[in-house]
Amino acid sequence: MELSKEDVAEFNATFEDILNVLRDDPGVKNTPGGFQWLEELLRYNVLDGKKLRARLFLAASFELAPEQSLQERKMVLIMGWLMEMIQAECLICDDIMDNATHRRGRTCWHLLPHIGMSATNDFLAIDKCVFLIIKKYFRDQSYYADLVDLFNESIFIGTLGQNLDFRMESQKLQFCTKEVYEKIIAAKACHYGFYLPVAVAMLMACEKRKTVDAMIQDILMDIGMYFSIQDDFLDAFGESTNIGKDGTDISNGKCTWPLITALELASTEQKAELEENYGQKDEAKVARVKEIYADLKIPEIYTSIQSSGSTDLFKSIEKLPNHPVRKFLKMITKALIHRHF
């Protein structure tokens, strides 16, 4: 997203304010080693990464409310970190459930020797830190209750999507359909990843709960779907050194865009081979699935739909009234097309 160097530097510096709130919390103070644990947890899992959700929120906030007092700006920057903390808790949970080994180019949190399965407590801790900080900075705002509702709603929908994603791993491939895939992505990725940042930005700018216009919400969901298809494709065909994690969707039996597209195109024999090889933690079987994808021209189809998808997104955005939201939706779409975030 198009944030100035000054914006980014100020945002990064605000992370220390998050830590200071936790350091001063009575419960944390009363727990031996409590702050040291939370600081390590947050520095390891929140600081790195593309910060896409924070950038999306900040871009929306600066566009919707360009004239901000110092206190309002501080609250916006704090909220940006809360978006990243929600992302971090979801990724820790996701990595545990997927038996992942690397995230953002580093060993997954739960695989660190001194962490292990205590990570199941850690992602809950991040969640509670989010609401503690919301209370600290936003409880006197008229929109406080609506803000808490938005976060609770998005986190709950995300857990539903995470569960559906996990349950599909044990299902036969015949149950992995476009409809199921879209439900997984809408719940697991689109709502907290794209809808929440914009909805909160609009709430803070207007100081009252407004349902995000249905057309804007649809565009945000389409943007989230576009991004998820990119991620799915890169998991299968990208280099781990470039995407910061090992591609595990095939070995874990995930319901993904390459798979549902392949199942729509595959012959009876190819479907049988996919059924035999998909979801197996065997490098040869993973390689065979990728060969079938290549035979079905999945990479070429991906290139085509990414082009048509971006065109459709821009057309949808142009249909919006001349609203400040329109400008940053264009900016988001351009950034996603080139993965510049």
pLDDT for res 329: 87
- Identify the pLDDT of residue 35: 97
- Provide the residue type at 243 as one letter: I
H/E stretch holding 312: helix 298-318
Q: CA-CA distance, 224 to 230, in Å (whole number)?
A: 10
Q: Would you list the domain boundaries of the chain? A: 5-338
At the top level of CATH, the class of 5-338 is: mainly alpha
For tokens 């939201």, the residue is 325
Contact by Cβ (8 Å): 171, 105: no
Walking along the chain (341 residues) 10 residues at a time, the average pLDDT comes out as 83 96 96 97 93 92 89 96 96 91 93 95 96 97 95 95 88 88 93 92 74 80 92 87 68 94 96 94 95 97 90 89 79 76 55
pLDDT on residue 155: 95
HSE-CB at 60 with a 13 A cutoff on CA atoms is: 27
Phi-psi region of 279 (alpha: psi -120 to 50; beta: other; left: phi over 0): left
User: Residue 245: its pLDDT value, please?
Assistant: 58
C-beta of residue 101 within 8 angstroms of C-beta of residue 111 = yes
**DSSP letter string over 232-291?**
HHHHHHS-HHHHSS---HHHHT---HHHHHHHHH--HHHHHHHHHHTT---HHHHHHHHH
Q: What angle is formed at CA 114 by the lines to CA 111 and CA 118, rounded to 5 degrees?
A: 75
CA distance 157 to 34: 30
